[in-house]
Structure 1
Amino acid sequence: MTEFLQWAAYYAASVVTNISISDIADIAIIAYIIYHIMSLVRRSRAVQVAKAILLILLALVVSYYAELRVVQFLLSRAVEGGILALIIVFQPEIRRFLEQLGSSRLGDVFGREEAPPDVEKAITETVKAYTSMSKDKVGALMVFERKVPLDDIIKSGTALDSTVSAELLKNLFWNKAPLHDGAVIVRNGHIVGAGCVLPLSGNVNLSRDLGMRHRAGIGVSENSDAVVAIVSEETGSISVAENGMLKRHLAPETLERLLQNALMPENEPGRPSKLSNIFRPKKGVKDDGEKVHRE
């Protein structure tokens, strides 16, 4: 046992002494890519396909050692032709990953990202308006753009250029206003579009009590990194959609906290940068909402 420990210590020391800066950079890049792929798969319906792929690979290994030649032949051919099938199945996830990769900046990983000064005011005014509209059961749908541009969605409505205020939002979503049926798009704390048409969610496992407003909010969060705040016209309940998931029945305080976590800079003084988060799991955030996961 002593000899084994000495050998293990000697082997570990030799490995450490041979590690160069390029090796560390190589490991960090691969870890970063794997982390984002796993995060993307975990929060999407692709997780079911990933489980099926693992089962097929496990069956292939078992058939190899059990000398099941016919089963091994069929599974190996299925794996060889599965790359194209994976590209087709994961097309929405691959598209979103490339959009996020193309719109990201180096400072998002290594440094602190400064939020525009109007974002905090926009959050405060939104919470104030949503508190009032929730009591009066006025339907509302607001999309907060982040890194993925929503220019095509903005073109589907009426272009605006205004700061966010509770009075303006209540007027836009008033049930007799011409733009109340569409979505309001907010970019860097400014309203840039109203009456905009959003893509509906393709998730067939959503609850049947969700109306078109909620399905549209989930849909745009599936196709971008936007955060969507919703007020139900039927019940007055407040919801937030992000990454294809819906958090329902939120209190105004919870809405404010969710919007701040999503839109305000993550790296406050004293907090670790995003690079350090690659090597540790994220902690879940408790809230008053009910999550509807994409199956």
Structure 2
Amino acid sequence: MVLMAANWFSRLMIYIKEFLSFDSFWDVLRAVIDVAIISFLFYRIIRALKDSRAFQLIKGILLILIVAGLALLLKLPTVSYLIKAFISVLPVLLVVMFQPELRRWLEDIGNSNIRSIFTGSGRAADERIDSMINEVANAVTAMSRERVGALVVFERSTNLGEIIRTGTVVDANVSTQLLRLIFVPNTPLHDGAVIIRDCKVHAAACYLPLSSNNSLDLDLGTRHRAGIGVTENSDAVCVIVSEETGFISFAAGGTLQRNISREKLVQLLKEALRSKDNKTSKSGKSGKSGKNAANTVKNAGGNTARAK
């Protein structure tokens, strides 16, 4: 076994030396492109499968491959035969089991990354985001007039998979009518938060972590504390409509700006969501004026609640 490991390591070192032996600038460029493409593909695959049941299947397949390696090292003939038979049909099984995820992954690449690579700018993406923001602003303004409580969370770079799993997946285009319908009182999905991911209403009726900040105003209810809480533990931003006052509030980075206008809401959402370059720099600006309302505090507890 030790000899086999040594041989494998020596072959690996020879491959690395051959890979790193560059004769010209073009060899270096070719290697960089090669590594970049593989890294990009692995990143997209892992991101696409992370929140799906396929991720659990992948862990099971990896476990089988580990057992296969041990069987070969220990020379277990029966186990090795069965695993080899399984591996021979594995490519077909992968296509069958992961067909929805593969299709969604290819659509994701085709609709976003390749287009942004060739356009060289995020103008098309920004236009899509602006359209989504206007739909949300229209819905929030209407619910504010009607005193209908609402809680809308916008996922950014921090994955909200754990929160999404507490609700119901919708996966629908954002529209004013859909958001207003979701938050109609006494309907199945109104009791909780809507999660917007990639400009789509990804899930509804989701549990959010309550803020652990004891310095918040006492008049803030569960909905506002949940909206602040999700932004304490992630870089998400949240829009809240008060059922009692109809006030529109905006939470980011554990801070809360209350009773803002539609124009201010659109401005804050554009600063937070439009381009990747603005996601870190501008979101900090949007929270400065609200630092007196709340401080960024790590959520030490595990409290969760549906916003009432």
TM range (shorter): 0.5 to 0.7
The correspondence of residues 82-231 of structure 1 with structure 2, limited to 5 A, is: 115=125, 118-231=128-241
Sequence identity of aligned pairs in percent?
A: 46
Conservation of the 8 A alpha-carbon contact between 2:140 and 2:241: yes
Q: Look up the SS of the partner of 1:185 in the other structure.
A: strand
**How far is the alpha carbon of 1:294 from its aligned partner?**
1.2
In structure 1, list runs of 5 or more residues that go unmatched. Answer: 1-110
Superposed, which structure 2 residues align to 1:45-60 within 5 Å? none
After superposition, give the CA deviation of every residue in 1:116-138 in whole Å (9 maximum; x if it has no partner). 65322110000000110000000
Q: 1:288 to 1:170 in 2, by over 3 A?
A: farther
Q: Residues 225 and 124 of structure 1: is their aligned pair in 2 closer, same or farther, counting only changes over 3 Å?
A: same
Q: 1:222 to 1:294 in 2, by over 3 A?
A: same
Contact 1:143–1:184 (CA<8 Å) still a contact in 2? yes
**Higher relative helix content:** 2
* 1:294–1:282 distance in 2 versus 1, CA, 3 Å: closer
Q: Match of 2:263? A: 253
**CA-to-aligned-CA distance 1:201-230 (integer Å, 9 cap, x gap):** 000110000000000000000000000000
Mapped pair 1:236 → 2:277 = no
Shift of 1:181: 1.2
SS at match of 1:293: coil
Aligned 8 A contact 1:139 1:232 in 2:
yes
TM-score, length-scaled by structure 1: 0.54
| Cα distance change on mapping 1:284 and 1:199 into 2, 3 Å | closer
Count the aligned residue pairs: 177
Residue 293 of structure 1 is matched in structure 2 by 294
Write the letter of the residue equivalent to 2:294: H
247, 258, 263: which one aligns with 2:273: 263
1:141 counterpart letter in structure 2: L
Q: Secondary structure at the match of 1:234?
A: coil
Q: 1:294 to 1:267 in 2, by over 3 A?
A: closer
Q: 5+ unaligned residues in a row in structure 2: which ranges?
A: 1-119, 297-308
TM-score (norm 2): 0.52
Read off the aligned partner of 2:180 and give its amino acid letter. Answer: K
Query: Is contact 2:135–2:174 with CA below 8 Å preserved after alignment?
Result: yes
Mapped to 1, the partners of 2:291 and 2:142 lie a distance apart of: 22
- Listed one character per residue, the Cα deviations across residues 46-81 of structure 1 (whole Å, up to 9, x for unaligned) are xxxxxxxxxxxxxxxxxxxxxxxxxxxxxxxxxxxx
RCO comparison, higher one (Cα < 8 Å, 6+) = 1
> Aligned AA for 2:191?
D
1:163 to 1:255, Cα distance in 2 relative to 1, 3 A: same
| Residue 264 to residue 234, structure 1, CA distance change in 2 (3 Å) | same
Shift of 1:171: 0.3
**Are residues 147 and 287 of structure 1, via their aligned partners in 2, closer, same or farther at CA, if it must alter by over 3 Å?**
closer
C-alpha displacement of 1:113: 6.2
Letter in structure 1 aligned against 2:189:
L
Please give the alpha-carbon distance, in whole angstroms, between the structure 1 residues aligned to 2:159 and 2:220.
Answer: 26
